[in-house]
Structure 1
Amino acid sequence: MTMTDFGEILKNVGEFGRFQKSLVFMLCFLSFFNAFHMFGQLFMAISVPHHCNTSWILENSPNITEEDQLNLTIPRNEHGSYEKCVMYTPVDWDIESIQRYGLNDSEDCQNGWVYDTSQQKSTLVMEFNLVCHRKEETDISQAVYMSGLLIGSIIFGPLGDRLGRRPVILLSMLLMFSFGMGAAFVTNFYVYTALRCVVGIAMSGVLINNLVLVAEWVGSSHRAYATITGHVCFAIGQMGLAGISYAIRNWRLLQIACSAPTGLLFFYIWVLPESPRWLLTKGKNEKAKTLLQKAATFNRQTIPEELLSQLQEEKQTKSGSMVDLFRVPSLRKVTLVMSFVWFVNSLVYYGLSLNVGSFGLDIYLTQLIFGAVEIPARLGSMFIVQILGRKLSQSLCLLLGGTVCLIITAIPRTLPVVITVLAVIGKFAIAASFSICYIYAAELFPTIIRQNGVGLCSMTARVAGIISPLISLLDKYHPAIPMGIFGSGPIIGGLLCFLLPETRNRDLQDHTHEANGIPRSDNFPKEQLMDENHGDEEMDPSQQQKRTRL
């Protein structure tokens, strides 16, 4: 029996029975809580009104009102409000002299800052004084977190192929929980940033392996629904985060609230299954057989004994490597195009998320809207990939998102409502495109190197997430530059999608030669199938002739 027949076994197990639905349901909890880790810092580092600490004047006049204190010690800017980072230089005068002559010399804040705690009890900004010359450090911290996602893509993609999907998911959960909780008790902002970076690394391990585990357990006709269900739960998690952060205005308690739920899911160590496809590619046929029987029993199905007995004929294959993604011509094209598609998706998704924040609403309602917009986008993509196919759906969503961004460059800033509506449409299209590319990538790469392929695509997406805020800074040179970049990238990606093959309702490929258009057959030399990493030059002439005929 060959690996091509795995789809037949899965039909007997049940392509989307109770077992697979339970698996998707479990992983949806992880997707929901992942949103807390991804966007939690947005609410922990809220900027609050502040000004220099000028308590020095109270030594001369302890009964002075707060308004008089500010008038005498803080200069005003051109808009008439108090400066946030500048104070009048302290003098050794009595209060009458200060009121009569006023103070003229100013300097940067010398004794810290006073923060308005009427809305926020404690934030990262307030506790670590991330204002004025340090105000960029919150953005840098977020960039470091995104760098962690990049590092995680590099580490956990290949590690999932080597160790299996299940152990990497469990390890990532442990790291997210322990380092996330640890970040709530730090006394140094740089330590907090370092711990958050580890959380980002672990987040990649969860995201990549969740995707692949679902794709390898669910039949092709239900794979899109299973994958996008997790994405919808991520969007719902964003909405849940808005409610939790509204209720908790202390950053340490909020960090605990964002991290602790992952610890509640450690019962997964007893119930989370491994991928039978991965077990078969590693020659662990008995484990795969036992797991498939268990799934079939749970689904109230029966696998014919002759099918299971043929699993024993499968020999161990060599593990694929990142090199295989570029060695085979067809895989090289898929790898380059999908990497670019993931890059522009991430670039525009995070770029628009930062710019759409100009709704003029408070941050909690804005976050609620961000999550709400994504739900119909994710659900819609679930249906269009089945109706239009993966390739056309991916291309149309990218083209729509890119076109809308380019239209925004021509809209004057005096029409903010029009810009906002267009930006929401763009975010809708890109969110749908992001869901589609997860499904598409998992189906395009063969099982033996699927983790490497998805890991590489995820890595390019994380690079885009890091540089996306930097592109937004180009707004100071011309307001059309960021949207011009955000618009042109998806259009190029949408056109490149037409170079990819369609994968709708097709069984997953397992080996690299299948991606190159060479079919499996019972008469095909097993020795050749088993050795994926050797070229044609290592075959004898009869084998080469047989491959040519096939």
Structure 2
Amino acid sequence: MSNFKDILKEIGEFGLFQKRLVAALCIPSIFVAFDVIGQVFTGMNFPHQCNTDWILEQGPNLTDEKQRNLTIPVNSEGTFDTCKMFTPVSLDLETIERYGLNNTSGCTDGFDFEISKDASSIVTEFNLVCERSSFIEASQSIYMAGSPEYKFGRRFVVLLSLLILFVFGLGISFSPNIYVYIALKFVCGISTSGIVANAFVIGGEWSDSSKFALCTIICHAFYPLGLMILSGVAFFIRNWRILQMVLFSPLFVVLGIFYWILPESARWLITQGRKEEAIKAIRRAAKVNKRNAPEELLEKVSHTKNSLTFTKSKLTVEFLFFGIIVFIFGIVEFPARLGILPLLQHFGRKLCQAGVLIFGGAACLSILVIPKGKITLTSKCFS
């Protein structure tokens, strides 16, 4: 009776097959970053005020400053209110200028945003300000709710997740309203959960256990690269719909490549009792590594209860990433993610995971005692 570890020693514990696989599995991390952090740009807010063009019927030649003074109330801080306006009246302009207006109401005619003509976001297009601003948080929190368990094999889940992310990631760019946007974002959340929970693990499960941390960290290191690409693309493309299409269109090519090159995890196949499929995948790996498949071990391969597992604490960790300066933190994450490798190898994944959650949570809580306005100190806590 043999186990998968014995077989790996014969076919290569970290040969060309494993290296090529890990290199390919780095690519999904980039698109996960696009989807997870993309709303920092697609949901960007801009200065705004109520649309008060009603007064232009009485005074079509009013300047913007004069129109604002006549129709927008001043708040307690001495600035023009962004969510209220004076209730429209049928008085002539001379009477309005002499006596002013007193009654206020919400922005019944929509909002005016200070934004260039070629720029837009879901905030400006769907008017997600004032009483509708909660939709921004809802779209992101609902996104993080999609974390199902999978029982269909890692390869199937990764391919399906990439397909879903491609279809619904592009579909978001055609959202007619915020409700459709939130629904599509939720489905994208399910797909990225499938990628995170399975793609990064396949490379490790095809390698010796001593290389598992290395494979996972290398794949994760491309997440900050995705952040830097995202911020660069978003700098040049200010229209959120076009930005969404540009970010997720390349997934069509990635999906086609992965369909042909991505193997199923032999460990998973063995634990599921699918011995013939596992042997076929092992022979393929041995061929790429230019090794001979150990036929005598393959015939005796057995189910093992100690198969590698992947513990997800995704929801807790993700709170650290939103609302941050994306490009700078993308650069910072490269050495941070690679630097964790010796800690993982020395202390193990369980202790490191616990330490990260404890210190990360403490950093988040420490922000509560930082005086308002201390932006530099707050950023360091998030870092």
Q: TM-score, normalised by structure 1?
A: 0.64
1:259 aligns with 2:248: yes
1:12 aligns with 2:1: no
Compute the displacement of 1:246 (Å): 1.5
1:284 aligns with 2:282: no
Amino acid in the other structure paired with 2:283: Q
Q: Counterpart in 1 of 2:290?
A: 300
Larger CA deviation: 366-375 vs 220-229? 366-375
Compute the displacement of 1:404 (Å): 4.8
Q: Is the 8 A contact 1:34 1:234 kept in 2?
A: yes
Q: Is the 8 A contact 1:40 1:258 kept in 2?
A: no
Amino acid in the other structure paired with 1:136: S
Amino acid in the other structure paired with 1:306: E
Name the CA distance, whole Å, in 2 between partners of 1:260 and 1:202.
16
1:314-366 C-alpha deviation (Å, 9 max, x unpaired)? 4x89xx9xxxxxxxxx99xxx9xx97xx55x743x4444457x4xxxxxxxx1
SS of residue matched to 2:82: coil
1:85-112 C-alpha deviation (Å, 9 max, x unpaired)? 1111222222222222222221111111
1:277-300 C-alpha deviation (Å, 9 max, x unpaired)? 222233333332222122112112
Name the CA distance, whole Å, in 1 between partners of 2:367 and 2:193.
32
Q: Counterpart in 1 of 2:86?
A: 88
The 3 A distance-change label for structure 1 pair 183 and 407 is closer
Q: Is the 8 A contact 2:144 2:315 kept in 1?
A: no
1:344-390 C-alpha deviation (Å, 9 max, x unpaired)? x743x4444457x4xxxxxxxx1112222322221111121113334
Name the CA distance, whole Å, in 2 between partners of 1:123 and 1:411.
31
Name the CA distance, whole Å, in 2 between partners of 1:412 and 1:171.
46
Name the CA distance, whole Å, in 2 between partners of 1:72 and 1:134.
25
Q: Is the 8 A contact 1:48 1:120 kept in 2?
A: no
Amino acid in the other structure paired with 2:156: P
Q: Counterpart in 2 of 1:113?
A: 111
Q: Which structure's residues are more often helix, by fraction?
A: 1
Compute the displacement of 1:168 (Å): 1.7
Match of 2:328 among 369, 387, 395: 369
Match of 1:123 among 108, 121, 124: 121
SS of residue matched to 1:369: helix
Name the CA distance, whole Å, in 1 between partners of 2:365 and 2:177.
42
1:269 aligns with 2:267: no
Q: Is the 8 A contact 1:12 1:303 kept in 2?
A: yes
Q: Which runs of structure 2 are paired with 1:447-458 in the superposition (5 Å)?
A: none
Name the CA distance, whole Å, in 1 between partners of 2:157 and 2:347.
34
The 3 A distance-change label for structure 1 pair 119 and 218 is farther
Q: Is the 8 A contact 2:201 2:216 kept in 1?
A: no
Q: Which runs of structure 2 are paired with 1:137-148 in the superposition (5 Å)?
A: 137-147=135-145
Compute the displacement of 1:243 (Å): 1.1
SS of residue matched to 1:114: strand
Amino acid in the other structure paired with 1:18: L
Amino acid in the other structure paired with 2:337: R
Q: Counterpart in 1 of 2:338?
A: 379
Name the CA distance, whole Å, in 2 between partners of 1:42 and 1:406.
22
Q: Counterpart in 1 of 2:232?
A: 243
Structure 2 residue runs without a partner (length 5+): none
Q: Is the 8 A contact 2:200 2:215 kept in 1?
A: no
Name the CA distance, whole Å, in 2 between partners of 1:125 and 1:104.
29
1:193 aligns with 2:182: yes
Q: Is the 8 A contact 2:47 2:113 kept in 1?
A: yes
Q: Is the 8 A contact 1:13 1:303 kept in 2?
A: yes
Name the CA distance, whole Å, in 2 between partners of 1:143 and 1:398.
19
Name the CA distance, whole Å, in 2 between partners of 1:198 and 1:414.
36
* Aligned CA-pair RMSD: 2.7
The 3 A distance-change label for structure 1 pair 402 and 199 is closer
